[in-house]
Amino acid sequence: MKGVYFIGGIDTDVGKTAATGKLAQQLQQQGISVITQKLVQTGCLHDAEDILTHRKIMGIPLQEADRQRLTMPQVFAYPASPHLAAKLENRSVSLNSVTAATEQLAQQYDVVLLEGAGGLMVPLTEDCLSIDYVQQRQYPVILVTGGRLGSINHTLLSLSAIRQSGLTLHSVVFNHYHDSSDPLIAEESRRYLQNAVKQDFPQAEWVDLETLAW
């Protein structure tokens, strides 16, 4: 792996932050220079909570890039989609500042893992969805899914959006966090989705979050 990768989810609360942190941890253990970045963080007053979680999983303190806020260039207080959170503060989401920060990080690190906000179709601004921004930048996508009820539908819709946008699907990460709520649904979701990915995206990797065997 080298370059910038976008970590997207099929929905909110599906495990993007855990997946981002664990992947960064593994790359770090392999001797690869890696940093994580949050596209837009909502629901925070200062430091991006997701970045703090990444560093905890990676087992490292906040880095100089964090203190310079390159890893968290856009933070808003209200826990909502970025376009609404920004509107409530009479601000706008500056995607140019995000891009500039990512480019600076890419000059300092071999790999930048850019975690999105919510699902792929979340509006960053009135005119730009998350997937629009990723398409403009042509970042490979790492899609995080899971086994809760509804995940098959959400995942297939996300995969369809990735295909229609002409993006590269690097891998699909299956988060087992929700398995205990209904093991039958979780296992069938995993089986069905793994087959769908193998058929429609043969170049993409399938990864179980518990193992992260890249």
Whether residue 214 lies inside any domain: the answer is no
- Give the integer Cα–Cα distance in Å for 136 and 11: 21
Question: Which residues have C-beta within 8 Å of that of residue 155, sequence separation ≥ 6?
Answer: 10, 143, 145, 172, 193, 196
Domain of 154, CATH number, reads 3.40.50.300
Could you confirm whether 38 is annotated as catalytic?
Answer: yes
Give residue 32's identity as a one-letter amino acid code.
Answer: I
Residue 66 is assigned to a structural domain of this protein? yes
Domain count, the chain: 1
Closest CA to 146 of 3, 4, 10, 1: 10
Flag whether 200 is marked binding. no
The owner of tokens 């629009």 is 132
pTM for the model stands at 0.95
Task: Tell me whether residue 47 is annotated as binding.
Answer: no
- pLDDT tens by residue, 94-152: 999 999 999 999 999 999 999 999 999 999 999 999 999 999 999 999 999 999 999 99
- 115 among the known binding-site residues? yes
Residue 121 covered by a domain: yes
In a domain, 158, yes or no: yes
Confirm whether 44 is domain-assigned.
Answer: yes
Q: Which domain holds residue 132?
A: 3-208
**Alpha helix positions (H), 39-150:** 49-58, 64-67, 82-88, 95-108, 130-137
pLDDT in tens, 159-198: 999 999 999 999 999 999 878 889 999 999 999 999 999 9
Domain-embedded: residue 36: yes
Q: Is 9 annotated as a binding residue?
A: no
Residue 28 lies in a domain: yes
User: Which residue out of 2, 38, 56, 198 is catalytically annotated?
Assistant: 38
Q: What is the DSSP letter of 123?
A: B
User: In 3-state terms, what secondary structure has residue 117?
Assistant: strand
Does 116 carry a binding-site annotation? yes
Does residue 213 fall inside a structural domain?
no
